[in-house]
Structure 1
């Protein structure tokens, strides 16, 4: 039979451990990052290429014609809008043209992988809708690795410049992580 003193000590130990674990779990860091992504679809060295889509669609509406297209990307991330500014990482993933009419919208699944600077070796991933023609788009962060382990948060994306279909997108990202 367990003594009353042992039972009380055991309950106190369990209560202490639960408090310590809960306190550690609540200690989240907030990181804010700003960078630019270069989505290059034309020229001799594109960073985003269409890999699937409808080729027999005859609509005169360019948005409807692109509906269902899927592209794979490996876009450079830089500290400033100029492509020759410091490279900090790559945005790698897939986006699909997901809107049929009156809107140019993408479904994106991307991982932003940092290859230099204070976040070197860390990543965060997004999954969500990107209505490209909106001035500001909010995209959810669904996870991360390295310094961004267990990340969640959001990206605010703004088109900095667009020439034909090549674009420079500015990102302001807020991450909650451990």
Structure 2
């Protein structure tokens, strides 16, 4: 029995296999790159003009006016269960409330609180608040912060997060503390002091 001899491959054939293997690696690398999203990239924040982070504090007054001929708070949902719910659960009101520098309505207007609040608790008068503080005064004119959180209105101090901002408050984050300054049980009108702390660039 004779064992057949295995002939070595010609040089050009071995080069062909090497070249084919190289093409295979190149195509797989290109395919991997093509899977990366072309619509997003990581940026250096300094190239966009963001310097050191700053902390800004505001003390302003929020006026929720539900009475009179020109209310700034208007009910948009009044559920039928509201008749039996002690808290008014499910009630929703849209707001465009003035923000002033002092507690009186005659104080300087610095912005508007625009958004809504809803009674989101069956146990107590606990509001879900979602609103933008849109500023109209000085260098803050055209800038805004967004507040979204839980407001138990009969607590002495309520804290809610600042979840974002625009203009001078881009990438803004922080918190607010709300304290009722005045509430008229006959009309339902309220003035609330807001202490606002915002980190921003």
Q: What TM-score comes out, normalization by structure 1 length?
A: 0.81
Aligned residues: 156
Q: Secondary structure at the match of 1:99?
A: coil
Determine which of 42, 46, 50 is the counterpart of 2:71: 46
Partner of 2:157: 136
In the other structure, the counterpart of 1:108 is 129
Asked if structure 1 preserves the Cα contact closer than 8 Å seen for 2:82 and 2:91, the reply is no
1:169 is the counterpart of 2:179 = no
TM-score scaled by structure 2?
0.72
| Structure 1: gaps of 5 or more residues | 1-17
Deviations 1:16-52 (A, max 9, x none): xx9985xx86721110011001000111111001101
Report which of the two has the higher share of strand: 1
Pair 1:117-2:142 in alignment: no
**Structure 2: gaps spanning 5 or more residues:** 1-42
> How far apart are residue 56 of structure 1 and its match?
5.1
CA distance in 1, matches of 2:52, 2:139: 20
Say whether 1:62 aligns with 2:86: yes
The 1:115–1:39 alpha-carbon spacing in structure 2 relative to 1, beyond 3 Å, is: same
Partner residue of 2:108?
A: 86
Q: Considering only CA atoms, is the larger Rg found in Structure 1 or Structure 2?
A: 2
| Alignment partner of 1:72 out of 60, 82, 94 | 94
Distance in 1 of aligned mates of 2:139 and 2:157: 27
